[in-house]
Chain A
Amino acid sequence: MTPEQGIHSIADAVRTGRTTARQVTEDALARIAARDPAINAVTRIVQDRALAEATAVDAQVAAGIDPGPLAGVPYGVKDLFDVAGLPNTAGAGMRRDAPPAARDAMAINRLHAVGAVLVATLNMDEYAYGFATVNATWGTTRNPHDPDRLAGGSSGGSAAAVAAGMLPFTLGSDTNGSIRVPASLCGVYGLKPTHGSLPMDGVFPFVDSFDDIGPIAATLEDLALVQSVLADAPFPDVAPPDLALLGGWFMADIVPELHDALQTIAENLGLPTVELPKVAAARSAAFLMTAAEGGARHLPQLRRNALAFDPATRDRLIAGAALPAAAWFDTMRFRERFLSQCLALLARYPVLIAPATGCPAPTIADPVVTLDGQPSPARASLGRYTQPISFVGLPALAVPLRRTGRLPIGLQLIAAPGNEALLFAAARSLEAAGIVGAK
């Protein structure tokens, strides 16, 4: 069984005895061994654990017990989830020898309970502070569509492992766009759920105010299945909602081919173009809050040994820790107002469409994007279009724009808190219209 066959097919084959979880796991391990050296998505393979989990699933099937909807499905997690017996590195070389986690993160428990098999941990920017997955200790994760280009980050290993066909799904985390950005650049689906809706127990934190975990998968239906397991609730069946295209700031600085594609979508579907006020300020506020909270979190370790940090992370964290409290209070006041404006617009148009990134993957040799007409470091700026959305806790679904033969670019579909089902309904309608799809 291969990831291309989809999670439903893999689990069905295991549940009905047409294959074994052990065979599926061994196939996944072989694919990682063959494909990862060129991509560098994987940081650790947990082979013994994976084979033991798979054997337990097979024993359940043999005993007439249904292991669950993810029976024997292999997956990986970003390297900031607790995995029992392993240090949670959070992508930091200084944590390689941290005390091992006593137990699995709750999200892993939920996946284990329905038969999924953990096989690997996956690369990321140090402490999730970046949109590049350029890591001083574990190296750069390369984009499976062009290994000379970035995979995006900070959940770059999670997106690249799916895009390379190593695993059918993975888990990532998204604070400012860390699921949506790599999903966009790698041409896969990724969900940043409503803030606080999925369990963060056993997840190394970055910015509590808007940290969330979420799934990444090769297909929309696979993503929906994993999300329903993580949320421990099935999706309600909802009709496709009214859509609108976010214009103005969200259409600025995007590459011409994406601009044209979005305009064509709006024309063909008869979508109105609407604007959110003060989006640039929302991005600035997200930047400030991230720097302040992230800096404060890591300040004790920075005091002890700043030079143990990845240089690309260290100086950002120190500067953030030095922000005055007045800046923090300004961001909090602004956030309330901006959320109200977002909710008012979403009350009229329940799902908004915007770019997930403004361009395809930048090259590793020249990692810059255009920001306000000027070149800007990709590590800090690839999340331009995602930051204002997660800043106020809205759920957002990254979907690949259908553009066969060209480098991927993703859209993000945005809804009011708790309305993930609307996002999936909207994505299905866009797939049916031939606008969205991984192929």
Chain B
Amino acid sequence: MPAIPPAPGDPVADLVAAQLAMMLPPECVAGVQANLAMLATHWAALRAASEPDGPAA
């Protein structure tokens, strides 16, 4: 296991620990959270465009 102290109690750290078996360093929490939000936006846009009546552009 890494020698990095975890960031306990943070939802992003908990998600990373659960999905990636990785303790998220506190320095990464804000950046990972921002990137997860951006990826969620892209995924939502992709799903919307994949609907038969989704955006044309």
Main DSSP-derived SS at the B contact region? helix
Contacts of B43 in A (CB 8 A): 284, 288, 323, 327, 330
Known: A288-B43, A316-B35, A321-B20. 10 other contacts (CB 8 A): A281-B45, A281-B46, A281-B55, A287-B38, A303-B22, A318-B24, A319-B38, A320-B35, A322-B19, A330-B47
Q: Which of B15, B21, B39, B49 contacts A281 (CB 8 A)?
A: B49
Q: How many residues of B contact A (CB 8 A)?
A: 31
Q: Which of A277, A279, A304, A323 contacts B39 (CB 8 A)?
A: A323
Q: Does A31 contact B (CB under 8 A)?
A: no
Asked if B49 and A280 make an inter-chain contact with CB atoms under 8 angstroms apart, the answer reads yes
- A277 with B21, Cβ < 8 A, contacts A287-B42, A330-B43 known: no
Asked if B35 and A319 make an inter-chain contact with CB atoms under 8 angstroms apart, the answer reads yes
Contacts of B57 in A (CB 8 A): 248-249, 277-280
Asked if A331 and B46 make an inter-chain contact with CB atoms under 8 angstroms apart, the answer reads yes
Residue interface mask B20-57, A partner, CB < 8 A = 1: 11101101100110111011001101111110001111
- Look across to chain A and name the residue whose beta carbon is closest to the beta carbon of B34: A315
* Measured CA separation A308–B8 after assembly (Å): 21
Shortest Cβ distance from residue B29 to the other chain A in the assembled complex, whole angstroms: 9
Q: Does B9 contact A (CB under 8 A)?
A: no
Contacts of A322 in B (CB 8 A): 15-16, 19-20, 32, 36
Contacts of B19 in A (CB 8 A): 321-322
Residue interface mask A38-49, B partner, CB < 8 A = 1: 000000000000
Contacts of B15 in A (CB 8 A): 322
Residue interface mask A411-434, B partner, CB < 8 A = 1: 000000000000000000000000
Q: Does A299 contact B (CB under 8 A)?
A: yes
Asked if B32 and A315 make an inter-chain contact with CB atoms under 8 angstroms apart, the answer reads yes
Asked if A318 and B56 make an inter-chain contact with CB atoms under 8 angstroms apart, the answer reads no
Shortest Cβ distance from residue A351 to the other chain B in the assembled complex, whole angstroms: 22
Q: Which of A287, A306, A333 contacts B28 (CB 8 A)?
A: A306
Q: Which of B20, B28, B34, B54 contacts A299 (CB 8 A)?
A: B20
Closest 3 CB pairs of A and B: A315-B31, A281-B49, A319-B35
Q: List 21 A-B contacts (CB under 8 A).
A: A248-B57, A277-B57, A278-B54, A278-B57, A281-B46, A281-B55, A284-B42, A284-B49, A285-B46, A303-B20, A303-B22, A306-B4, A315-B32, A316-B35, A318-B16, A318-B24, A318-B35, A321-B19, A322-B16, A322-B20, A330-B47
- B residues in contact (CB < 8 Å) with A: 2, 4, 15-16, 19-22, 24-25, 27-28, 31-32, 34-36, 38-39, 42-43, 45-50, 54-57
Q: How many residues of A contact B (CB 8 A)?
A: 34
- Of residues 296 through 325 on chain A, the ones whose CB sits less than 8 Å from some CB of chain B are 299, 302-307, 311, 314-316, 318-323
Q: Which of A280, A291, A304, A314 contacts B45 (CB 8 A)?
A: A280
Contacts of B56 in A (CB 8 A): 277-278
Asked if B49 and A278 make an inter-chain contact with CB atoms under 8 angstroms apart, the answer reads yes
- A318 with B46, Cβ < 8 A, contacts A278-B56, A278-B57, A306-B22 known: no
Shortest Cβ distance from residue B32 to the other chain A in the assembled complex, whole angstroms: 5
Contacts of B24 in A (CB 8 A): 306, 318
- A307 with B4, Cβ < 8 A, contacts A299-B22, A319-B32 known: yes
* Measured CA separation A291–B39 after assembly (Å): 8
- A307 with B39, Cβ < 8 A, contacts A248-B57, A334-B46 known: no
Contacts of A314 in B (CB 8 A): 28, 31
Shortest Cβ distance from residue B10 to the other chain A in the assembled complex, whole angstroms: 13
- A307 with B25, Cβ < 8 A, contacts A280-B55, A333-B50 known: yes
- Look across to chain B and name the residue whose beta carbon is closest to the beta carbon of A320: B39
Which of A285, A311, A315, A333: most chain B Cβ within 10 A? A315
* Measured CA separation A280–B2 after assembly (Å): 39
* Measured CA separation A305–B25 after assembly (Å): 9
Q: Which of A291, A302, A327 contacts B22 (CB 8 A)?
A: A302
Q: Which of B20, B49, B55 contacts A318 (CB 8 A)?
A: B20
* Measured CA separation A333–B46 after assembly (Å): 11
- Look across to chain B and name the residue whose beta carbon is closest to the beta carbon of A316: B35
* Measured CA separation A311–B4 after assembly (Å): 15
Asked if A319 and B39 make an inter-chain contact with CB atoms under 8 angstroms apart, the answer reads yes
- A311 with B21, Cβ < 8 A, contacts A284-B45, A305-B2, A330-B50 known: no
- Look across to chain B and name the residue whose beta carbon is closest to the beta carbon of A333: B50
